[in-house]
Protein backbone atom coordinates (compact mmCIF):
# COMPACT_ATOMS: atom_id res chain seq x y z
CA UNK A 1 0.00 0.00 0.00
CA UNK A 2 2.83 2.39 0.83
CA UNK A 3 4.48 1.77 -2.59
CA UNK A 4 1.15 2.58 -4.29
CA UNK A 5 0.89 5.88 -2.40
CA UNK A 6 4.49 6.84 -3.25
CA UNK A 7 3.82 6.03 -6.93
CA UNK A 8 0.75 8.29 -6.98
CA UNK A 9 2.69 11.14 -5.33
CA UNK A 10 5.52 10.80 -7.88
CA UNK A 11 3.02 10.92 -10.78
CA UNK A 12 1.27 14.01 -9.36
CA UNK A 13 4.57 15.83 -8.83
CA UNK A 14 5.68 14.91 -12.36
CA UNK A 15 2.44 16.29 -13.81
CA UNK A 16 2.81 19.52 -11.84
CA UNK A 17 6.38 19.99 -13.09
CA UNK A 18 5.22 19.37 -16.66
CA UNK A 19 2.36 21.88 -16.41
CA UNK A 20 4.63 24.54 -14.87
CA UNK A 21 7.25 23.98 -17.57
CA UNK A 22 4.69 24.39 -20.36
CA UNK A 23 3.28 27.53 -18.74
CA UNK A 24 6.74 29.06 -18.41
CA UNK A 25 7.59 28.32 -22.04
CA UNK A 26 4.36 29.86 -23.38
CA UNK A 27 4.74 32.92 -21.14
CA UNK A 28 8.28 33.49 -22.37
CA UNK A 29 7.18 33.17 -26.01
CA UNK A 30 4.44 35.78 -25.55
CA UNK A 31 6.82 38.19 -23.81
CA UNK A 32 9.49 37.81 -26.47
CA UNK A 33 6.99 38.36 -29.29
CA UNK A 34 6.09 41.87 -28.17
CA UNK A 35 9.24 42.74 -26.24
CA UNK A 36 10.93 44.50 -29.14
CA UNK A 37 8.23 47.17 -29.05
CA UNK A 38 8.60 49.43 -26.04
CA UNK A 39 5.09 50.39 -24.93
CA UNK A 40 4.53 53.17 -22.46
CA UNK A 41 1.58 53.26 -20.06
CA UNK A 42 1.43 56.92 -19.00
CA UNK A 43 -0.39 59.38 -21.27
CA UNK A 44 1.21 62.50 -19.76
CA UNK A 45 4.67 61.09 -20.26
CA UNK A 46 3.75 60.06 -23.82
CA UNK A 47 2.51 63.59 -24.58
CA UNK A 48 5.79 65.08 -23.32
CA UNK A 49 7.79 62.64 -25.43
CA UNK A 50 5.57 63.34 -28.47
CA UNK A 51 6.17 67.08 -28.13
CA UNK A 52 9.94 66.58 -27.90
CA UNK A 53 10.12 64.13 -30.81
CA UNK A 54 7.43 65.77 -32.98
CA UNK A 55 5.53 62.47 -33.22
CA UNK A 56 1.93 61.50 -32.69
CA UNK A 57 0.82 59.01 -30.04
CA UNK A 58 -0.44 55.53 -30.93
CA UNK A 59 -2.67 54.25 -28.11
CA UNK A 60 -3.60 50.57 -28.06
CA UNK A 61 -6.59 50.01 -25.78
CA UNK A 62 -6.80 46.36 -24.73
CA UNK A 63 -7.91 43.97 -22.00
CA UNK A 64 -6.38 40.70 -20.85
CA UNK A 65 -9.69 38.92 -21.51
CA UNK A 66 -9.90 40.23 -25.11
CA UNK A 67 -8.83 37.41 -27.44
CA UNK A 68 -8.48 39.68 -30.47
CA UNK A 69 -6.21 41.99 -28.45
CA UNK A 70 -3.97 39.02 -27.72
CA UNK A 71 -3.98 38.05 -31.40
CA UNK A 72 -2.87 41.55 -32.34
CA UNK A 73 -0.02 41.31 -29.80
CA UNK A 74 1.05 37.95 -31.19
CA UNK A 75 0.49 38.49 -34.91
CA UNK A 76 0.14 42.14 -35.85
CA UNK A 77 2.53 43.91 -33.49
CA UNK A 78 5.25 41.29 -34.10
CA UNK A 79 5.25 41.87 -37.86
CA UNK A 80 8.61 43.46 -38.81
CA UNK A 81 7.03 46.14 -41.04
CA UNK A 82 4.47 47.06 -38.38
CA UNK A 83 7.16 47.26 -35.68
CA UNK A 84 9.33 49.45 -37.87
CA UNK A 85 6.54 51.86 -38.79
CA UNK A 86 5.26 52.10 -35.22
CA UNK A 87 8.63 52.68 -33.60
CA UNK A 88 9.76 55.21 -36.21
CA UNK A 89 6.59 57.29 -36.39
CA UNK A 90 4.80 57.10 -33.04
CA UNK A 91 5.13 57.34 -29.31
CA UNK A 92 3.58 54.04 -28.25
CA UNK A 93 1.11 53.66 -25.40
CA UNK A 94 -0.68 50.50 -24.29
CA UNK A 95 -3.72 50.99 -22.03
CA UNK A 96 -5.50 48.21 -20.14
CA UNK A 97 -9.14 49.34 -20.08
CA UNK A 98 -9.81 47.47 -16.84
CA UNK A 99 -6.95 49.22 -15.04
CA UNK A 100 -7.52 52.63 -16.67
CA UNK A 101 -11.29 53.12 -16.96
CA UNK A 102 -11.04 56.93 -16.91
CA UNK A 103 -8.66 57.10 -19.86
CA UNK A 104 -10.68 54.46 -21.69
CA UNK A 105 -13.83 56.51 -21.19
CA UNK A 106 -12.11 59.73 -22.23
CA UNK A 107 -11.23 58.19 -25.60
CA UNK A 108 -14.46 56.14 -25.80
CA UNK A 109 -12.64 52.81 -26.07
CA UNK A 110 -15.76 50.71 -25.56
CA UNK A 111 -15.10 48.05 -28.17
CA UNK A 112 -11.82 46.16 -28.18
CA UNK A 113 -9.30 46.26 -29.57
CA UNK A 114 -9.38 50.02 -30.18
CA UNK A 115 -6.46 52.04 -31.45
CA UNK A 116 -6.58 55.81 -31.08
CA UNK A 117 -3.95 58.06 -32.61
CA UNK A 118 -3.66 61.43 -30.88
CA UNK A 119 -1.49 64.51 -31.22
CA UNK A 120 0.92 65.68 -28.53
CA UNK A 121 -1.93 67.54 -26.78
CA UNK A 122 -4.09 64.42 -26.60
CA UNK A 123 -6.51 65.41 -29.37
CA UNK A 124 -7.80 62.49 -31.40
CA UNK A 125 -6.58 62.27 -34.99
CA UNK A 126 -7.69 58.78 -35.99
CA UNK A 127 -9.54 55.79 -34.56
CA UNK A 128 -9.19 52.15 -35.61
CA UNK A 129 -11.64 49.67 -34.09
CA UNK A 130 -11.39 45.90 -34.16
CA UNK A 131 -8.77 43.32 -35.01
CA UNK A 132 -6.29 44.40 -37.67
CA UNK A 133 -3.99 42.15 -39.65
CA UNK A 134 -0.52 43.56 -40.25
CA UNK A 135 -1.54 44.56 -43.78
CA UNK A 136 -4.74 46.25 -42.60
CA UNK A 137 -2.96 48.19 -39.88
CA UNK A 138 -0.13 49.28 -42.18
CA UNK A 139 -2.65 50.66 -44.68
CA UNK A 140 -4.19 52.86 -41.97
CA UNK A 141 -1.19 54.25 -40.11
> How far is the C-alpha of 18 from the C-alpha of 35, rounded, in Å?
26
Active-site residue, from 47, 66, 97, 116: 66
Active site residue 69: yes
Active site residue 21: no
Kindly tell me the number of DSSP H helices and DSSP E strands found in the chain: 6, 4
> How far is the C-alpha of 74 from the C-alpha of 34, rounded, in Å?
7
Active-site residue, from 46, 47, 69, 91: 69
Say if residues 113 and 62 touch (Cβ distance below 8 Å): yes
Q: Which residues are catalytic?
A: 66, 69
Amino acid sequence: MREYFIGIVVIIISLLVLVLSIHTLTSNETESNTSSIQWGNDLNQAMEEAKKSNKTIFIDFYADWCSYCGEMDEETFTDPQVKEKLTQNYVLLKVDVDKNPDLSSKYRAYSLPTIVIVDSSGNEIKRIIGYQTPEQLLSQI
